[in-house]
Structure 1
């Protein structure tokens, strides 16, 4: 029987790590203790090891990561213990916290861990010379760009160019910051910038965006199949992606699906609407499997649906609205328009609109939980879970299931 340590509230955060081309390359796993709704880092070595073991052995998060690297924060005690070696067969980067004291035993242990397959990252480097002996050992150095002014950040970057390390910029929260960091020489990026709209005065809708909005409106108003099919025909690329997806997930069928109406009869209207919602996030270029916005939208929708099924087991319509709320919640970033403007255009149901704009109602609570898991901020998660009749383990299990599903579906969509 696998249980979380001492029935402690432990929250799991999952943050995306992107490369210069804004493609997903890794996740960071953030374990937080949520006692008394004051979420903080786990500071007990045994408890941390138990939680990691629970996530990888019981929830099988390693399989859900679908081959992507995962970063895990470790303190000195856990780094020095044998317990961490259970992860040696996973694609794991051990992230040394900035609180570790660097000494010869620590450096030797880092070299040992690298020999058995781990990559190493140094967290929150601030040009502290006591950490310099690690710069020839670690693979990645993370720099929180909010911890110092920009000239100081550039000074750190220039210093680190003398070492064989990749640079990861943390707390990148805007498109402008991403461009600034990329120009400075950072290789990897962590933050919420890709999920925020890049608003430009006077920007006009691209033709495919107008079709996207029309399709969403038709889906939300439960329009006849013929109207949806006619709208799809206005974007040949979108139509082709939809048929590819339906055929790939319907393997085993004797007849290849070649029309929208045929696909509705085979897989059902409800499922087809879900594919359409996700397809709105597919990039025009052939890098669907790397698209962070698509992956985040898929994960958010599935997480909210899974939790909705726990809240109201027999209310299938509520499950569907939860999924749709998760998908719609990133449309402002997709379309680079204010969320209020997007909602006016697509006119969703009132409870969905209230959840998107005000985080109100049950759907708003589910959306808040989804955003907390993405940002690793769980200060009020306990209250939200209680209001929805959910437990911490419900959230953790739903997260891993949503991660598994989002990685699977984006792989299907890329084929």
Structure 2
């Protein structure tokens, strides 16, 4: 497999649930990352590797935005990409001429979606294209509030969705939602800020208590009793154990029996993921967090398996570090307080608190990947010494596909 680096940045709706992803692909030539001013070169890598990567597995049911320049947009290669999964994001540098208009019209007729990238104003050339556009991405950092309001009002003449990009903090996110943006994007959402002084949501507190009982090897009866206090949680457990995936010959109706069948390690993992999907007061779930935490956990586990194939305990600890790495943001608590509460092993605590130690460096590698810091990732992989870029890409794809399956399962209303 050709060395390819896949990045995936979440695009959220106004309730901060994941609506789509921006896909970043890089060609790794001579162990260097070539990042051009226009990032449309990434699109050619997508074409080269689409069959191997299985982009639909990476995104689940969501769409992926990819940046394209005029050269790629006018090539026949665009039609090799799946219309149900791709949004072509036209770079600001593209000159909107008759040829571009004709191609966008053709793409639209064939069912593809089109977005405009990094918009700060609407001039006459973009006005020609707007009837064919589905999404307008606005660089909110480049405009003051008056300019932003004026631009939004101007865009209301067309039936387009508005996406705020470069959202770097909670204040900007709230402002954009108030202004009527349909979607938000920015590194702020990779790891939301911690807001101190909040009480833990009761549903999350119950899950945290359950996690503590499992981690500390509590008695099965204690774990069972904690489930009995939460009917919704008990229903979820029974539904999961009785799902077709487990292949059970008959229906399991006992909480205790379900715990025994699932096993402590799988139960622990399930509770960790459920922590992120606990409903907020506004009715939304922490969709971005569950995705990021799930991917981190699975990717760290896969790295651990590659490193120590027969050390199951190491694999489980790596998974736990990955999933717990966002718990401070979820529960609005300091990580030091959570580490102390969970009484986890010192090397795991060091990884979570300061990214020190073996697991800490691997967690830092994954965080650098989330932020698109490609050179840092390459350096970290070289230092690890046992994973190539190609192998890391395969692991990442497996982790992304697994996280999508988990997200769909725990959020399923059925």
Same fold per superposition (TM over 0.5):
yes
Aligned counterpart in structure 2 of residue 117 of structure 1, from 81, 91, 111: 111
Superimposed CA distance per residue, residues 291-325 of structure 1 (whole angstroms, 9 cap, x where no aligned partner): 33222222221122122222222222221111111
Check 1:316–1:170 CA distance in 2 against 1; reply closer, same or farther (3 A cut). same
Q: TM-score, normalised by structure 2?
A: 0.89
Unaligned residue ranges in structure 2 (runs of 5+): none
**1:165 to 2:121 alignment:** no
Corresponding residue number in structure 1 for 2:226: 231
Aligned-partner Cα distance in 2 for 1:89–1:257: 42
Aligned-partner Cα distance in 1 for 2:69–2:264: 50
Structure 1 residue 27: deviation in Å?
Answer: 1.4
Is the 2:215–2:268 contact (alpha carbons within 8 Å) kept by the matching residues of 1? no
RMSD: 2.6
Is the 2:354–2:360 contact (alpha carbons within 8 Å) kept by the matching residues of 1? yes
Aligned counterpart in structure 2 of residue 408 of structure 1, from 391, 405, 409: 405
Check 1:165–1:156 CA distance in 2 against 1; reply closer, same or farther (3 A cut). same
Check 1:208–1:44 CA distance in 2 against 1; reply closer, same or farther (3 A cut). closer
Is the 2:39–2:68 contact (alpha carbons within 8 Å) kept by the matching residues of 1? no
SS of the aligned residue for 1:105 comes to helix
Aligned-partner Cα distance in 1 for 2:56–2:290: 21
Structure 1 residue 136: deviation in Å?
Answer: 2.4
Unaligned residue ranges in structure 1 (runs of 5+): none
Corresponding residue number in structure 2 for 1:399: 396
Aligned-partner Cα distance in 2 for 1:241–1:193: 31
- 1:299-378 correspondence to structure 2 within 5 Å: 299-378=295-374
Structure 1 residue 203: deviation in Å?
Answer: 2.3
SS of the aligned residue for 1:18 comes to strand
Superimposed CA distance per residue, residues 98-157 of structure 1 (whole angstroms, 9 cap, x where no aligned partner): 222222211211111111221000010111524333222211110122223333222222
Query: Which one has more relative contact order, counting CA pairs under 8 Å at least 6 apart?
Result: 1
Is the 1:175–1:194 contact (alpha carbons within 8 Å) kept by the matching residues of 2? no
283-292 or 297-306, larger mean C-alpha shift: 283-292
169-178 or 30-39, larger mean C-alpha shift: 30-39
SS of the aligned residue for 1:135 comes to helix
Aligned-partner Cα distance in 1 for 2:192–2:212: 20
Aligned counterpart in structure 2 of residue 254 of structure 1, from 249, 253, 278: 249
Superimposed CA distance per residue, residues 44-80 of structure 1 (whole angstroms, 9 cap, x where no aligned partner): 97x6455213442012122442221111111111111
SS of the aligned residue for 1:99 comes to coil
Is the 2:277–2:286 contact (alpha carbons within 8 Å) kept by the matching residues of 1? no
**Structure 1 consecutive aligned stretches of length 4 or more whose deviation exceeds 6 Å:** 42-45, 285-290
SS of the aligned residue for 2:167 comes to coil
- 1:50-199 correspondence to structure 2 within 5 Å: 50-127=44-121, 129=123, 130-194=125-189, 196=191, 199=194
Aligned-partner Cα distance in 1 for 2:95–2:337: 51
